[in-house]
Amino acid sequence: MTMKQMTNMPPAGTKMVVVGGCGGMGRALVEAALAAELSVTVLDLARSIDQSPPRAGVAAIACDLSDEQSVVAAFERIAATWGSIDCLVNLAGYTGERITVENLSVKEWDEITDCCVRGVFLAARSAIPLLRKGRNASMVLIASTFAHLVSVRGFAPYAAAKAGVVSLGKALATECAPEIRVNVISPGLIQTPFLDGGTGRGPRASNLNPDKYALGVPLRRLGNPEEIAAPILFLASPSASYITGQVLHVNGGVWAP
């Protein structure tokens, strides 16, 4: 590839599937993708689609990542419409009340890990055959700084699940090469509705003080959704054609081993 062919944005017409596209980071990504003339399909919970529908021109398919058949059916619809996809971005994530492990129920553990890591596996498994038919195919998984550094009590299932996403991304990069590149982004705390329970789920008290958390961030603030959308699009672009199996930390400088 020549320097003239290098671009930090996916080519116009790129077929991108955004899992969790109705959330704060998802909506920012969809807007940026549409501005770049990408074709976008959003997968999200039915309630999320009802509460925060994507704008005209974006297909939205109800999909529950905790339900295997729901995931399979969603990608069957995509296959019937597009035949192939060029990029899968999985932004889905969920965490409940802040509860320490000794007080955590199995039900709560399962709800969080089913969404945050099992669901990522299910979506990847269904997407791979479609990505193999795509162009410059790539997958971008969203983990979390908590996958690497757990400095706040009460996030054990979320942290464990997101650490699983990191390892799953590395395994997929090995298994899917050379046809599909797979990378992971680990965001820090981002100012979105996720901090209060996310879209599609009832509100819950995180008891996490964003202002206090920001004092421990070298850039002294939380991130914004656009600051996650931009590196996602870069990793899906021709400029990232030799990047796979990597974890990109986008967290304002928080040290994450």
* Catalytically active residues, by annotation: 158
DSSP at 145: G
Is-contact 206 196, C-beta < 8 A? yes
What residues does 16 pair with on adjacent strands? 40, 87
With 0-12 / 13-18 / 19 or more C-beta atoms within 10 angstroms meaning exposed / middle / buried, residue 14 is buried
What residues does 155 pair with on adjacent strands? none
For residues 48 and 188, give the distance between their C-alpha atoms in angstroms, rounded to a whole number.
Answer: 23
- Going by C-alpha positions, the residue among 244, 37, 21, 41 that lies closest to residue 136 is 244
